[in-house]
Amino acid sequence: VLILGIESSCDETAASVVKNGRTVLSNVISSQIELHKLYGGVVPEIASRKHIEKINQVITEALEEANVTLDDLDAIAVTYGPGLVGALLVGVAEAKAISYAKNLPLVGVHHIEGHISANYIEHPDLEPPFACLVVSGGHTHLVVVKDYGKYEILGRTRDDAAGEAFDKVARAIGLGYPGGPKIDKLAKEGNPLAISFPKAKVADAPYDFSFSGLKSAVLNYLNGCKMKNQPIVEADVAASFQKAVVDVLVEHSMWAIDEYGFDKFAIAGGVASNSALRMAMEEACRKKDIKFYHPSPIFCTDNAAMIGVAGYYEYLAGTRSGLDLNAVPNLKLGER
Ligand code: ATP
Ligand code: MG
Ligand code: FE
């Protein structure tokens, strides 16, 4: 089964051809990062326009790289939510046009289901059930993957997402956008024990997260230093902040593992490429004798291969979208 995956929910225009849900024949990504850098974050209107400019070219490249034509495909999978409405609409309209022109089944895919499914690409042995921590620019979810396409959310962030916290703290210490990879790099030169930042817990909800208090604590620390004319060691701030985030993510994940007894644990989303998070999770899972999975960095941040993979399992389950498929900016995981 050959699926063309299309992704345009934020600032990456991407297309990919995936064979039988596990083999990526091509994975083309056109990133708008350089464009949005100027503004310190993604500007929705600019993102939509750029998607329109790039999408045909990206799809053509994905088909060429995979050495297939539209006539070889079995279905089209496209992200229809969550994300920026104008950005999503570009991919959805394109997918509907191809589906109509070539009489191909259309499968709408949830972006976060895509992030989770990225783990299937490089791990042929990974099959549900397992638990997955989704840490991305807009989401922090602790999820039970009960079966392909069947999810139960154990916990979520009450305020900022993990990636959002990375981006905001990076901006505060002058690292620019996107901040996650820059903090990851700078933290390697800093002391994670230099500053003690709070690890927020949510009362009566052990699997929920809260990162806005941590972000404020970093901002207060930076302001305090300026007022007292104390030097700021950015690498120490980055390392200490990163440790506070990673500690909480690992701790809550391990509580879930203890309570529910999973034997497989995966991470997904842009922050899943964070080196400190990977090391800490690897170590924590090893201690509990649990198999730990994570995608390569290229499959952690937004891509269309993950949409092709998730689309394949939805396709097998009989999920079909009509030509009335619309973008749903706040689509919930597990809902259609
Ligand atoms: P969502 O998937 O929730 O809709 P998104 O698609 O914008 O949001 P992703 O593309 O999954 O998010 O991930 C981008 C986020 O990952 C950004 O916040 C970025 O800073 C963060 N990120 C990327 N690499 C790293 C890293 N090495 N360390 C920490 N954070 C990282
Ligand atoms: Mg992005
Ligand atoms: Fe994403």
pLDDT digits (tens, 9 = 90+) for 265-320: 999 999 999 999 999 999 999 999 999 999 999 999 999 999 999 999 999 999 99
Query: Residue 326 pLDDT more than 90?
Result: yes
Query: Residue 88 pLDDT more than 90?
Result: yes
How many Å lie between the centroid of ligand 3 and the Cα of residue 1? 25
Q: What is the Cα–Cα distance from 250 to 73, expressed in whole angstroms? A: 40
Q: Is 27 in the pocket of ligand 1 (CB under 6 A)?
A: no
pTM exceeds cut of 0.90: yes
CA angle 195, 200, 202 (to 5 degrees): 175
CB atoms under 10 Å from CB of 36, counted, come to 19
Query: Residue 6 pLDDT more than 90?
Result: yes
**Residue pLDDT, tens place only, 7-17:** 999 999 999 99
How many Å lie between the centroid of ligand 3 and the Cα of residue 82? 9
User: ipTM of the assembly?
Assistant: 0.99
Query: Residue 201 pLDDT more than 90?
Result: no
Query: Residue 256 pLDDT more than 90?
Result: yes
11 Cα nearest atom in ligand 1: 7
Query: Residue 203 pLDDT more than 90?
Result: no
- 150 contacts: CB under 8 Å, gap ≥ 6: 128, 334
Q: What is the pLDDT of residue 40?
A: 86
**Residue pLDDT, tens place only, 116-165:** 999 999 999 999 999 999 999 999 999 999 999 999 999 999 999 999 99
Query: Residue 205 pLDDT more than 90?
Result: yes
Mean pLDDT along residues 162-178: 94
Q: Is 10 in the pocket of ligand 1 (CB under 6 A)?
A: yes
Q: What is the pLDDT of residue 266?
A: 98
Which residues face 321 on adjacent strands?
Answer: 106
Q: Is 181 in the pocket of ligand 1 (CB under 6 A)?
A: yes
Per residue, the 3-state secondary structure of the chain, as one string, reads: CEEEEEECCCCEEEEEEEECCCEEEEEEEEECHHHHHCCCCCCHHHHHHHHHHHHHHHHHHHHHHHCCCHHHCCEEEEEEECCCHHHHHHHHHHHHHHHHHHCCCEEEEEHHHHHHHHHHHHCCCCCCCEEEEEECCCCEEEEEEEECCEEEEEEEECCCCHHHHHHHHHHHCCCCCCHHHHHHHHHCCCCCCCCCCCCCCCCCCCCCECCHHHHHHHHHHHHHHHHCCCCCCHHHHHHHHHHHHHHHHHHHHHHHHHHHCCCEEEEECHHHHCHHHHHHHHHHHHHCCCEEECCCHHHHCCCCHHHHHHHHHHHHCCCCECCCCCCCCCCCCCCC
Question: Is the Cβ–Cβ distance between 228 and 267 less than 8 Å?
Answer: no
138 Cα nearest atom in ligand 1: 3
High-pLDDT (> 90) share of the chain, %: 95
Query: Residue 91 pLDDT more than 90?
Result: yes
Query: Residue 219 pLDDT more than 90?
Result: yes
Q: What is the pLDDT of residue 178?
A: 87
Tokens found for residue 187: 């933290």
How would you label 175-192 residue by residue, b for 16+ Cβ within 10 Å and e otherwise? bebbbbbbbbebbeebeb
Q: What is the Cα–Cα distance from 8 to 98, expressed in whole angstroms? A: 16
The confidence band for 209, taking pLDDT boundaries of 50, 70 and 90, is: very high
How many Å lie between the centroid of ligand 2 and the Cα of residue 137? 8
